Structure 1
């Protein structure tokens, strides 16, 4: 017979230590999730900017409409005064008592015209007053939407910060030696990507990789080459949440700024950029083309094709603008702006 000691708890198995590969996978997943949130944040931020611009126009309309209603209101007051002054003697009595019927009939005709004008003024006042009320209501609705969007921004920012903090906790579970090995592997991958990208840029005859079968023009030309040249000048600049230059970037901020340098305006966020320009197959990629990753219907990451199977992009918080293999993330489509 065995007896359990009072208060004794069943032995808990020690948590299994993460391998470097497992930690790397978890960190990359958390970084990807954080970037999805970052793009959502930028999207809401753009909605707020557009909403504020629209609200400013509506507020100007409200001011103009208020002035218009005030003017018509004064006219209505004048009409009311005229009606009060002429209320005692009706037209039939005035004709009976007057000795100058021709002049009176002319006056009556004028009074009828005034009455018609009075009705027009009153109707106009009612219509303009209703238009003012509608504008004021619309403005109040826009303000409420903006308030909700500002709250959404705060929530999204907190979620992104939490994801990054969680990734740091995963990294902290590794030993110093394991962390060093992970950093060394990342550096080697970055160096390899740079070497392949630079080789492709300087050697037009460089053979395409499996990622770009059929690609011929790896040196690029025209606007794509101009956009790519701009992006390359940003190498080493830090990824910063919702940044679009000139000292730091997020993924879509970099591509937007690069194509703007080439004289082409594209939207601010990756998902919207994926709907602009000419659709390009992976086999036909050219330098400067935008490449999208993760979700075909709503891409959360965008980079720029360099050539030789490499891209340039702003990856995630804690990283910098750098080269990477096109195959390093799930490719879901490409576009050629301009």
Structure 2
């Protein structure tokens, strides 16, 4: 699934506004002295919003990197066009000066220096000169001007992408603060984080798996306990989609960076037919904001937010309630 910088910026703005509203709402809920059940529900809502912000950040980061690459390519094109223009200008000016002096020998030397191909090019340059060097140089000037125009457009796009990335990062920080605040409210009531539930015994699952899937699961389990970091792709820290991407790379499978694209990177399977190694998506079927790796026995390996390290959890307590899609890759 391809997303334009404009659509990504709209997503960042929309999700950012939602989070700002969430901060206000969370304060309102606290003042209203919510019940433990209400506090738990609000915590889950903020977790969902924070997941959306993380994927919006990942998309903004990808867009910014693409804009930087495009700008570098166009600047290289501009440099090449300018070099050609300068070289052609110097060549024509040299022939013109030689012709103006009236020295037949000098003109002959200029025209027929080097190998036959170079001599033919020099004669062609002289023909161009005789037809009107302004017209000849105009083509090169147009190329330079076009490259300059593209450079300006790419620079503006890179600036917009950088701004969108900064906005996404700010929205993330606000969303994380709101979730932490709600976690404190829930803890003060004696409640527990609904998104964390100990994995069932035998978390590796009982079904036999292929060597590729086993490599994926072994890698994912080896990352348990590492920090969850926004935009993390390893090896020291990960976010949810970064972990999935890195784990499946162990099996030689190249997955997209974001959950928005990973959900379309394989074959959909029903929830009751998931197998170890399958990707589980949450909150939205078409544009999910969270993903984990099914590890068997009703568990998954994932990272949910910066307040907790990567972990293996049971799906039953919370995640099955917000499950939207399962995808088999490989």
Q: TM-score range by the shorter chain?
A: 0.7 to 0.9
Deviations 1:124-172 (A, max 9, x none): 4222221111111111211111111111122111112112222233344
Gaps of 5+ in 1: 1-13, 87-110, 205-217
Deviations 1:70-119 (A, max 9, x none): 01112343465578679xxxxxxxxxxxxxxxxxxxxxxxx999546643
Q: CA deviation at 1:43?
A: 0.9
Judge which range, 249-258 or 284-293, deviates more.
284-293
What's 2:203 paired with? 197
Query: Does 1:25 pair with 2:14?
Result: no
Please give the alpha-carbon distance, in whole angstroms, between the structure 2 residues aligned to 1:67 and 1:174: 66
Match of 2:219 among 209, 230, 250: 230
Please give the alpha-carbon distance, in whole angstroms, between the structure 1 residues aligned to 2:304 and 2:251: 22
Whether contact under 8 Å (2:217, 2:295) holds in the other structure is yes
Query: Does 1:306 pair with 2:298?
Result: no
Whether contact under 8 Å (1:270, 1:301) holds in the other structure is yes
Deviations 1:308-330 (A, max 9, x none): 22221111221221223445332
Deviations 1:250-302 (A, max 9, x none): 10010011011222211111111112133333343221121211111211111
TM-score by length of 1: 0.73
Structure 1 SS opposite 2:293: strand
Q: CA deviation at 1:303?
A: 0.8
Q: CA deviation at 1:222?
A: 3.0
Distance change >3 Å, CA 293–CA 175, structure 1 → 2:
closer
Matches within 5 A, 1:146-165: 146-165=158-177
Deviations 1:166-202 (A, max 9, x none): 22333444574x24x426x77xx632x242524x2xx
Matches within 5 A, 1:61-76: 61-76=77-92
Please give the alpha-carbon distance, in whole angstroms, between the structure 1 residues aligned to 2:43 and 2:36: 10
Aligned residues: 278
Whether contact under 8 Å (2:64, 2:165) holds in the other structure is no
Whether contact under 8 Å (1:230, 1:261) holds in the other structure is yes
Match of 1:288 among 273, 277, 282: 277
Q: CA deviation at 1:66?
A: 0.8
Whether contact under 8 Å (1:76, 1:122) holds in the other structure is no
Please give the alpha-carbon distance, in whole angstroms, between the structure 1 residues aligned to 2:125 and 2:58: 60
Work out which of the two has the higher radius of gyration on C-alpha atoms and give 1 or 2: 1
Q: CA deviation at 1:244?
A: 1.3
Query: Does 1:297 pair with 2:297?
Result: no
TM-score by length of 2: 0.75
